[in-house]
Amino acid sequence: MTPADSLRLILLSSLWGMSFIFMRVAVPEFGPVPLILVRMGIGALLLLPLLLSLRYLQLVRENWRALLLLGLINHVMPFILLALATVRLEAGFTSLINATTPLFTALLGALFFSTPVQRRQYLGLALAFGGVYVLSADRLDFALGGDGWFILSALGATFCYGVASNYSKTHLSHLPVRVLAAGSSAMSALILLVPGLWLWPAEPISGLAWANALGLAVFSTTVAFLLYFGLISSAGATATSTVTFLVPVSALLWGFLLLDERLSLQVVVGMAITLAGTAIATGLLQLKRRALPPLATTPDATLDATPVDTPHDPRCSPQSRAPSETVTTHLRKRRTP
**pLDDT tens for the 337 residues of the chain, in order:** 688 888 888 899 999 999 999 999 999 999 999 999 999 999 999 999 989 889 999 999 999 999 999 999 999 999 999 999 999 999 999 998 888 887 788 888 888 877 776 777 778 778 877 888 888 777 877 877 788 899 999 999 999 998 988 888 888 888 888 898 899 999 999 999 999 999 999 999 999 999 999 999 999 999 998 888 778 777 766 566 678 778 888 999 999 999 998 888 888 888 888 888 877 776 766 666 555 555 554 444 443 444 434 344 444 444 444 444 444 444 444 444 4
Q: Is this structure's pTM higher than 0.85?
A: no
Q: Compute CA 68 distance to the chain's CA centroid, rounded to the nearest angstrom.
A: 22
pLDDT at 313: 45
Q: Determine the pLDDT at residue 288.
A: 64
Residue 9's closest CA among 271, 224, 279?
224
* Contact between 60 and 183 (Cβ < 8 Å): yes
What pLDDT, on the 0 to 100 scale, is given for residue 1? Answer: 65
Tell me which DSSP letter residue 219 carries: I
Give which of 141, 114, 131, 61 is closest to 279, Cα–Cα: 131
Q: Which of 295, 296, 298, 305 is nearest to 331 (CA)?
A: 305
- Sequence-distant (6+) residues with CB within 8 A of 299 are none
Cβ neighbors of 310 (< 8 A, separation 6 or more) are 316
Give residue 31's pLDDT.
Answer: 96
Report whether 219 contacts 15 (CB < 8 A).
yes
Q: 16: closest CA among 244, 208, 214?
A: 244
